[in-house]
Amino acid sequence: MLRWQIGGVCVTQVVELTTASLGPYLLPQATPEALESLPWITPFLDDQSRIVLSMHSLIVESSGQTILVDTCIGNDKERSYPRWNRMQTDFLEKFAAAGFSTDTVDTVLCTHMHVDHVGWNTRLVDGHWEATFGNARYLFAEQEWAYWKNEIQEYGPVIEDSVQPIFDADMADLVQATHQVTDEVRLEPTPGHTPGHVSVHITSQGEEAIITGDMIHHPCQIAHPEWSSTADWDQSASAATRIEFLSRYADKPVLIIGTHFAAPTAGRIVRDGQVYRLDY
């Protein structure tokens, strides 16, 4: 479990799982040979030089509010990917061990509606999907919902079991991609991975941080922003978003917290010759 302090805001990571098995599918460009020229990338690889991805939630404490950013894969969900089908993890136990209760989350914020970002929105109770965070409002970008509410998902009935029950319970709020969550936390549009994808921008007491969502899946894309994921809705748009993002925040005192970055998970973007690297 990692924690970061950004001015008066505390961000806590709760990891559901880490995996190297998705890398060849998600970023086939990131071969061990291609990564050899990036000595700084080693902490984000396994012992076979495969990229490691972390599935984790980030809990943002701001202005007296507890905001949960992305909710991983979840338990008991029917998924076409065998490792995730009816999965059982101790995520909620880790959540409690980090010092949080499901009842005291004020806001659940999903950067987008993919399978590994909405799973713990709900949990199975007596055969029905109920909101895991029963006192929270769930925020979704309006453009994201407009796309996915009628779109077939690759991994199974993700909307049906992890998003639609939130709307049915009248716990969902559709917001703009620039929505101000608190006076310290706002959304930042980063489209391409999905139509309404957002990142989360934190500004507090002169300090800044950004939670990436899947605008960047792995730190290798900082050196190679042209490497778009096979899971991207629009690969050209996602690459353009990354290139603009890196140019804007390089060499700035802005902490970048990767939604899928394995430990150390966060760092600052710095220029490295003609490209960029993560300074952690």
The reported pLDDT for the residue numbered 226 is 98
**Domain 3-279, classified CATH 2.40.50.180, yes or no:** no
Q: List strand residue ranges (DSSP E) for 107-253, in order.
A: 107-109, 122-125, 128-131, 137-141, 172-175, 185-189, 198-204, 207-211
Return the closest-CA partner of residue 12 out of 22, 1, 20: 1
The rounded distance, in Å, linking the Cα atoms of 250 and 233 is: 26
C-beta separation of 198 from 177 below 8 A? yes
- The answer, yes or no, to whether residue 87 has pLDDT greater than 90, is yes
Q: What is the pLDDT of residue 152?
A: 87
Alpha-carbon torsion (245, 248, 252, 253), positive or negative: negative
Mean pLDDT value of segment 66-95? 98
Chain segment 210-262, per-residue pLDDT in tens: 999 999 999 999 999 999 999 999 999 999 999 999 999 999 999 999 999 99
Q: Are 124 and 132 in contact (CB under 8 A)?
A: no
Question: Tokens 């998970």, residue?
Answer: 265
Tokens of 11: 């961000």
Owner of token pair 């894309």: 221
> Mean of the per-residue pLDDT values for the chain?
97
Q: Can you read off the two tokens belonging to residue 187?
A: 């959304």
For the chain, the structural domain boundaries read 3-279
**Closest CA relative to residue 196, chosen from 218, 213, 220:** 213
The stretch 267-271 carries a mean pLDDT of 98
pLDDT tens per residue, range 43-52: 999 999 999 9
- Cα(first)–Cα(last) distance of the chain, in Å? 16
- Alpha-carbon span 74 to 189, nearest angstrom: 25
> What's the rounded Cα separation, in Å, for the pair 7 and 150?
40
CA-CA-CA-CA torsion sign (31, 244, 236, 201): positive
Tell whether the model's pLDDT for residue 199 goes beyond 90: yes
Q: Are strands 207-211 and 254-257 parallel, antiparallel or unpaired?
A: parallel
DSSP letter at 169? T
Q: Tens digits of per-residue pLDDT, 132-175?
A: 999 999 999 999 999 999 898 899 999 999 999 999 999 999 99
Rounded Cα distance, 164 and 213, in Å: 21
The answer, yes or no, to whether residue 17 has pLDDT greater than 90, is: yes
Q: What is the structure's pLDDT at 66?
A: 98
Q: According to the model, what pLDDT value does residue 128 have?
A: 97
More confident residue, 1 or 215: 215
**pLDDT, position 92:** 98
